[in-house]
Amino acid sequence: MLLRQVLDFVSSQTLIPIVGIRGASAIVMTKKEKDSIFLQFGATTQQQSQVILRLMEEYDWHRFAIVTTRHTGYRDFAHFLHTSVLGSIVAWEIEAIVTLELSESGDTARAEALLRRLHAQVVVLYCANDEVEHVFALAEAVGLASSGTVWIVPGLRVSVKIPDTFPIGLITISFDEGQGSLAYRALDGIAVIAAAAHAMFMATGHLPESGCTCDHTNQHNSSMWTTFYQYLQNITWNGRDLSFNSNGYLEKPSMTIMVVTSERLWEKVGRWENDMLTIKYPIWPRYGVKDVVEDRHLSVVTLEERPFVIVENVEPKSGTCLRNTVPCRQQVKRNVLGESSAYVKSCCKGFCMDILKKLSKTIKFSFDLYLVSNGKHGKKIRGLWNGMVGEVVYKRADMAIGSLTINEERLEIIDFSMPFVETGISVMVSRSNGTVSPSAFLEPYSAAVWVMMFVLCLSVVAIAVFVFEYVSPKGYDRNLEHGAAHGGPSFTIGKCIWLLWALVFNNSVPVENPRGTSSKIMVLVWAFFAVIFLASYTANLAAFMIQEEYIDQVSGLSDKKFQKPNQQYPPLRFGTVPNGSTERNIRNNYPEMHGYMSNYNQPSVHDALRNLKTGKLDAFIYDAAVLNYMAGKDEGCKLVTIGSGKVFATAGYGIAMQKGSKWKRSIDLALLKFLGDGEIEELETIWLTGICKKEKNEVMSSKLDVDNMAGVFYMLVVAIVLSLLVFTAEHIFYRHVGRAEHWRHSQSIRFLLAISRIPS
């Protein structure tokens, strides 16, 4: 540290560029001397602190403690971490900041007492390299150097021989000096100066000269060196960014992440380059150190399935996950060199993620969360398990959490926690848009009423009115011949029917009223009857013209629609997502149904919902908890579970663990506590409920289109056709029958002509 200050002072006085090429240890940022052109190859403590935070965020280590000695810059280090945590979108929690006084007399009581107060699983240590062994000796004395604690030490000198006090799994972040020798790095320093000088000369045609002494500084030359320093801040050499910031440190230093393996060797497990972190999973826990009671870091596998696990991209600007999410990864493939696995970093949230975070905080364990590579819950195929169950069975994961159903077959090879969500099998269908029947306008009254109204009542009343008019002294006075006289009665039975029709439909058409008093009374009674008839018809018509949605109903999986689909017309098309507990249940209990539905099985839940809406699928059989959520969140509320969420073959979701896992009892007790305190019910309210109501036949308040009014139009067409037939018959009768003399003098024909007003 003192040497750097001396070189910085010399550069400021002589205006000579000085490049420090040794940068393995963390460099504490100190105030730079005025006019200094002292450059340092290395990573500052602040830059290494940024990598520490990114590393902890990658593994969801959000709760940590800071331990420092009184090494130079310890206040700045703790202050930088504290301010970074306060300004972050990540939910960091610093448990404590402890400063140790390392006594030369060997009195360690106070330091050990301070370390005993720490309960965080992750501890960030800042101290000098010659103090590290002493600190770890104190940590071992109080039990903090066990495999249950993650130690991260920035700028630790990496040597071939690792001290015995260093715990397995110790992580350090240091400047990457590359594979070259000291002479190679010296050439890099010369190249930086040469590249800047070349750029300045090409731009200005001048280069600064030293020519300065400790007693006198040339102001013009000082300005030239200031300009030269600006060119040093933008240097690229051999494809590497060697630009320096205004404080003389590398703008984007490359750093490596090293860890002490169980063989007590340093292994490179990650790299920080161009503000991007690339690490090999897992760098922790302890490289396969097993049978250690204190080991409290778990590898957890999950599967995306809303709302239990929802996968989102990282925040684009910071590359981190927001406070309500958990970092999760999905392995793509192992790279060619075999050094690390390529993966996609994502953020997971949802009902199960909140459960996992609560368990982690209550039972006090950390975890590495990843998504199952084949995207399945778990099925035994050719004697091998796949999916989440397979990850736990073959001990690639300590725990599996998600929409994983507890069943007998899985219980034989893994352990489950108590169920935290009740589920089973349910059936989802799409609401069918109701259509109005072409005869809907006739449905307010039964067929018998219509016949009685227009065939019997109207005809009988019309005849009655005409008979009263026929016998009335003011009418025909029992003689139809009076109708032929000038000014005689002209009210015929045809006009009577026309009058009664007009009264029924309240139609303002020209009509002729009867003359007789009894006929008029009869017409008035008919008018009152027509008012009641029309009012009742109008009131009922609105209900029959509304589109009522139709939801297919089944009584259960043993329903005939499922068991004998080919006997229905059209056959019911239904399926599920294979390789899950739903398919297993159907395969074991309804083999014929399983064989039929295999033609309609869906690759995923989202594909099934899309096919339901487009009509390619009639019913989707799946986990009730998932389907109820999807129905509640469906846009337009078109998808419903039959029977208001009726569940068949009731089961539950549980957390899967390896057979005989020591975590089972702790997790069961924690879940019982969550149930008793109402925390799980609160999470169900947040994640498992939606805005759509339970299954219900609902009406559509949309406009009626041509299809809805088809019956009225059909009736109009029939009326036109009938009118044409009557028109034809009328003309035939008039031309060929009405003018024949022997017909004109017939008494019966004279009667018909009189009541129909055909002139004789």
Annotated binding site: 405, 410, 581-582, 623
Largest pairwise CA distance in the chain: 152
Please report, in angstroms and rounded to a whole number, the separation of the first and last CA atoms in the chain.
Answer: 135
For residue 256 the two structure tokens come to 């490596």
Contacts for 112-118: CB closer than 8 Å, 24+ residues apart: 112/138, 112/141, 112/142, 115/67, 115/139, 115/142, 115/144, 116/142, 118/65, 118/67, 118/144
Tokens at 412, concatenated: 């034989």
Give the integer Cα–Cα distance in Å for 134 and 140. Answer: 10
Q: How far apart are CA 760 and CA 754, in angstroms?
A: 8
Asked if residues 44 and 26 have their Cβ atoms less than 8 Å apart, the reply is yes
C-beta separation of 44 from 249 below 8 A: yes
Q: How far apart are CA 511 and CA 524, in angstroms?
A: 14
**Distance separating alpha carbons of residues 511 and 362, to the nearest angstrom:** 90
Give me the torsion for CA of 690, 694, 699, 701, rounded to 10°: -10
Helix, strand, coil shares of the chain, percent, nearest 5, are 40, 20, 40
Give me the sign of the Cα torsion angle 560, 564, 565, 570.
Answer: negative
Rounded-to-integer distance, Cα 495 and Cα 507, Å: 14
Contact 654, 417 (CB under 8 A): yes
Buried b (16+ CB within 10 A) or exposed e, 491-515: bbbebbbbbbbbbbeeeeeeeeebb
Residues written for the chain: 760
Annotated binding site for L-glutamate: 405, 410, 581-582, 623
Nearest CA to 641 out of 563, 700, 554 is that of 554
Which positions ≥6 away from 269 have C-beta within 8 Å?
A: 257, 258, 259, 279, 280, 283, 340
Helix, strand counts (H, E) of the chain: 25, 29
Written as six digits, the tokens of 381 are 């195929």
Q: Where are the alpha helices (DSSP H) in 117-236?
A: 132-141, 182-204, 219-232
Neighbours of 550 (CB within 10 A): 13
Contact 440, 545 (CB under 8 A): yes
